[in-house]
Amino acid sequence: MAKATNTNMNEDILAFLRQDELDYPGAAQKFGAAAVPFLQEITEGGDENLATKAAYLLGYINDETAKTALVAAAGNKFTTVRIAAAYGAASQDADTAKTILGRLLGDYDHGVVKVTMRSIGEKNWVKVWLKS
């Protein structure tokens, strides 16, 4: 029974990720923490389009497992997944955000660094970092 429910939810998650324009906050509300294992699996898979969208959705889910998955996404092979991790970091707690953004600030890709800087700006840490 539980397995059938999971299968259905995984199908719903895939259907969501295959959309052209996505309502991430709405999907985070709808799927919640139960979606995290499958989202992490997609993030680590070979389809860049779906992996990227899955990583964005992880950033909108407020749960410890989602945070862990988002930290892992910061080390993803796809640049756009790392950008999603940098973007999602802005809405995480300070420790999670620092782990992700500290790592991605040194990324070789300019797009990752751009979004990382923006998330740092949103966290209002710039002054603190400049002082220290």
Partner 1 sequence: MNEQFAAMQDVYATAGIRVDWSTTENLSLSTLEDVDVGGCTMGSVTAEQITLFGNRNFVGTNDLVVYYVRSTVPGYNGCAAHPSGRPGCVVVRTASRWTLGHEFGHVLGIHHVNNNNRLMTGNGTFNITNPPPDLVSTEVTTLLNSGLSRPI
Interface residues toward partner 1, by CB under 8 A: 15, 18-22, 24, 48-49, 52-53, 55-56, 79-80, 83-84, 87, 110-111, 114-115, 118
According to CB under 5 A, which residues from 6 to 25 bind Zn ion? Answer: 20-21
Give the total residue count for the chain.
132
- Token look-up 């964005």 returns 56
By three-state DSSP, how is residue 27 classified? helix
110 interacts with, out of partner 1, Zn ion, none, CB within 5 to 8 A per kind = partner 1
Q: How many CA atoms lie within 13 A of 113 on its CB side?
A: 6
* Cβ at position 115, least distance to partner 1 in Å: 6
Q: 22 or 72: whose CB is closer to partner 1?
A: 22
* Cβ at position 79, least distance to partner 1 in Å: 7
* Cβ at position 128, least distance to partner 1 in Å: 24
CA angle 104, 71, 109 (to 5 degrees): 25
- Its sign, for the CA torsion 60, 22, 117, 77, is positive
Report how far apart the first and last C-alpha atoms of the chain are (Å, whole number). 54
Cα Rg, the chain, nearest whole Å: 15
18 interacts with, out of Zn ion, partner 1, none, CB within 5 to 8 A per kind = partner 1
According to CB under 5 A, which residues from 37 to 66 bind Zn ion? Answer: none
* Cβ at position 12, least distance to partner 1 in Å: 11
Distance between CA 3 and CA 61 in Å, rounded? Answer: 22
List residues near Zn ion by CB under 5 A: 20-21
